[in-house]
Structure 1
Amino acid sequence: MINRQNRYSTQQGWQQPLDARYTDMDGPQTWVLVFASRVLEDNAEFWQQLTSAFPNSLITGCSSAGEIFQDEVYDDSAVLSVVQFADTQLRCFAEPVTMQSGYATGESLAKQLAAAEDALQGVFVLSEGLQINGTDLAQGLSDGLPKIIITGGLAGDGVDFGHTWVLVDGRPRSGYVTALGFYGDKVQIGYGSQGGWDIFGPQRLVTAAKDNQLFELDGRPALELYKSYLGELAQGLPASGLLFPIAILNEGEEPITRTVLAVDEATQSLTFAGDIPQGKRVQLMRANFEHLINGAEDAAQAVLDSYRGVLTQEANYLVIAVSCIGRKLILKERIDEETEVTLERFPSNTSQIGFYSYGELSPQVFAQNSLQCQLHNQTMTLTLISEISA
């Protein structure tokens, strides 16, 4: 596996020209992965350069709330990873999605991925970040591919929560999900997802909810109660809600974190990136700087624990980091610390690329003997990809 990175800034253009060093990698076994600020959506020249350089490769990517390049975090930029596989086959499928069609979309993508004759080893998914129920999408994918590692994330739009997109045929399109499948026995994949947020306040019972819309906690209007915790920060909703996610408590398991995507004053409800099951108990969460950074390091360790191959200094590795926008808002000038601790855990010949998202997709690390993909929020989620020699 050959892996080369590049970065684009709106002020200076490409860090390195898209010349023969990159274009000689173009081909059906090459994956071009791009995470870009939404400000680049209408930059026709940027997308033309990309598609012209890699006309025969599979190009996937999405809008971001911050771009990760090696151990640093950028804004208003694009990051690029060009991965050429020697023995791994790639297939990519795209489907439209709505808030109501997440399960059906995931199920349809799983069916298309499973139809190939080669052995499917893993899937990397990028999705519309706003008009989507990520829980349903993850469930549809997992039900169709119960024994396959599925990771990825939901596209971001900074703190604007206005408009997100994924790349379909190398061009930005809203309202879509893409799923890239890796086939063959040479590809090796590891995964890990951890948060590091602290739970506080009393447990509350979800007394009225439908899918990812929360109406009541302990019989009180959910938005009213939530605002009482936020105080003056309530004026900044939904963006300020990123600072106070909700933990869904599951007995004997790690809590599942959910982030607010929208509020509805008329119904006094909160809309989350994934389901809030009625009858469950929940608690608010808040940040602790050291715990968040430790959470990122724990995610890297989880990748090492799940990786089925042997890490060496001879092979090339790609780590894809999908971290939540809420973590970026909390850590601020310390944001590079979470990308530093993840990259440090892997061999020196590892490249890291990623983005800040509205949701992360990965199997639950602590779910023993299960690869069921789940939607996570407020986590650092990592995917390690490599290819063993023939």
Structure 2
Amino acid sequence: MKIVQAQRTESTEWDYLTGNQQLKNPLVFVFANRFLLEDKSIIESIRQEFPYQDLVFGSTSGEIIGQNVTENSISVTAVEFEKSSFIVKRANILAHDKNAHALGIELINEIPKEDLKHVFVISEGSFVNGSSLIDGIESGIDDTIALTGGMCGDDARFEKTLASYQEDPKEGEVIAIGFYGVSLEISFASYGGWIPFGPERSITRSEGNILYELDNVPALDIYSKYLGDKAAELPQASLFYPLNVTATGKKHPVVRTILNIDKENNSMILAGDVPLNAQVQLMMASVDGIATGAYEAAKLAIKNRNQPADLAILVSCIGRKLVMDQRVEEEIEEVIEVIGQNASVSGFYSYGEMAPYQSERACELHNQTMTLTLISE
């Protein structure tokens, strides 16, 4: 596996973390600030510097490349597989009346299943129900094939996100990458480090990813009461106090971030499903807790691997970045300490992370986690 990595800002030239060598038919990840992806001159610069066919774009809430976390930048990771192969497919949620489940089915049906090893997804992050998207994709693969990935970000603005494959970045895009190859080894893990607090409540009214009532009381009223003065800063303030959701019959809870609020009906729109009768608690975190969570995620990801990772794709939540603030690179350092200095590190801060729980194959949508996908040949 050959990997080339480079980064730039709007006002600087390309800075290569690796040698600037020509690659043969690489898979190219382009993670960047949304405003830069809307700039035609920037897109042209990317295409000129990386004149390849398989460019995958995603907007972020911060770019991860090497040991660094950057903002308002473009990070590019081009990967040439020597023994393995990949197939990339795209679909747009706006063409499916925002039905993420139907889109997921369409995407996975376009990906050949023979010798399929893994599926990695980069999704629109503003209005896609990540849980439904995962369910749609997993309906077309068996339980020997794992799914990981993330939902694009837009800093803490929550205005719109962009993604694309080959075409210029646009709203509503969902990208699925199928990886193939006997020699390909892919492992993954996801871990948070957040702590539940306060009383546990039951979801008494919800619809998909919209939460209306907890214990028969408008959910937004309860949440706003806990936030106090910070309630005026919703939905951004919710990144510091996500919800811990344990669905009936599920062994593990999932963390849910609030993407938006509707004051007219006192509801909250979350990144993934919030099932009826699920148990809910607020959560909080410390900088040390988040850094430890990243360390634990990395330990889980390398467990039982046969060889060191060549490429580590990190998807971490915007909420973690806001809590850690100036110390945000500490969680990247924790990951690198575990996986080793030889792995090329790429990734982004997101509005949602996709990965199964350790030792399981069914994928879940997570919020507020560090999620790793480790790849080697």
TM-score > 0.5 by shorter chain = yes
Q: Does 1:21 align with 2:11?
A: no
How far does residue 282 in structure 1 lie from its aligned partner after superposition? 0.7
The answer as to whether partners of 1:141 and 1:373 remain within 8 angstroms in 2 is no
Which position in structure 2 is the counterpart of 1:343? 336
Superposed CA deviations along residues 182-223 of structure 1, whole A, max 9, x for unmatched, are 111121101010000010000001000000000000110110
- Deviations along 1:265-296, one digit per CA (max 9) or x if unpaired, are 00000000000001111100011221111111
- Structure 1 position 348, deviation (Å): 2.4
Matched residues in 2 for 1:56 and 1:249: separation?
44
Residue 9 of structure 1 corresponds to 9
In the TM superposition, residue 306 of structure 1 has moved relative to its aligned partner by 5.4
Q: Separation in 2 of the partners of 1:231 and 1:114? A: 51
- Cα distance change, pair 161–322 in 1 and its aligned pair in 2 (3 A): same
Cα distance change on mapping 1:113 and 1:226 into 2, 3 Å: same
Q: TM-score by structure 2 length?
A: 0.95
1:226-246 deviation per Cα after TM superposition (whole angstroms, max 9, x unaligned): 000111111110111111100
Q: Who is 2:367 aligned against?
A: 377
Q: Tell me, in whole angstroms, the C-alpha distance in 1 between the residues paired with 2:41 and 2:24.
A: 19
Partner of 2:202: 205
Q: Is the 8 A contact 1:37 1:76 kept in 2?
A: yes
Match of 1:38 in 2: 34
C-alpha separation between the residues in 1 aligned to 2:41 and 2:102?
35
**CA-CA distance at 1:170 after TM superposition:** 4.3
Note the C-alpha offset of 1:17.
11
Q: In structure 1, which of residues 21, 46, 51 is the aligned counterpart of residue 47 of structure 2?
A: 51
Counterpart-to-counterpart distance in 2, 1:253 and 1:48: 48
Partner of 2:134: 138
Contact 2:10 2:42 in 1 (8 A): no
Would the alpha carbon gap of residues 173 and 274 (structure 1) be closer, same or farther in structure 2, given more than 3 Å must change? same
Q: Specify the alignment match of 1:285 in structure 2.
A: 283
Shift of 1:372: 1.1
> RMSD across aligned C-alpha pairs, in angstroms?
1.8
Kept in 2, the 8 Å contact 1:47–1:170? The answer is no
Write the distance in 2 (CA, Å) between the matches of 1:60 and 1:126.
Answer: 9
Report what 1:325 is aligned to: 318
Once residues 357 and 36 of structure 1 are traced to their aligned partners in structure 2, the CA distance between those partners, rounded to angstroms, is: 11
Q: Any idea what SS the aligned residue of 2:149 has?
A: strand
Of the three residues 51, 59, 63, the one matched with 1:63 is 59
1:355 match: 348
Q: Deviations over 1:153-174 (max 9, x none)?
A: 0000011100101122142111
Structure 1 segment 81-160 matched on structure 2, within 5 A = 81-98=77-94, 100-115=98-113, 117=114, 119-146=115-142, 147-160=144-157
For residue 57 of structure 1, report the CA deviation from its aligned partner. Answer: 3.4
2:262 maps to 1:264 = yes
Secondary structure, in 3 states, of the residue corresponding to 2:135? Answer: helix
Unaligned runs of 5+ in 2: none
> CA deviation digits over 1:90-114, x for unaligned, max 9?
1100011157411111111111113
Structure 2: distance between partners of 1:194 and 1:17: 28
Q: Tell whether 2:244 aligns with 1:247.
A: yes
Aligned length: 373
Task: Give identity over the alignment, percent.
Answer: 36
**What is the rounded CA distance, in whole Å, between the counterparts of 1:54 and 1:334 in structure 2?**
32
Which residue number corresponds to residue 299 of structure 2? 301
Secondary structure, counterpart of 1:13 in structure 2: coil
CA distance in 1, matches of 2:236, 2:169: 24
Alignment of 1:153-232 (within 5 A): 153-232=150-229
Change (3 A) 1:26 1:175: same
Q: Distance in 2 between matches of 1:354 and 1:15?
A: 17
Structure 2 CA distance for aligned equivalents of residues 71 and 269 of structure 1 = 39
Q: Per the alignment, in what secondary structure is the counterpart of residue 274 of structure 1?
A: coil
Do the aligned residues in 1 keep the contact of 2:53 with 2:166 (CA within 8 Å)? no
Q: Distance in 2 between matches of 1:97 and 1:13?
A: 34
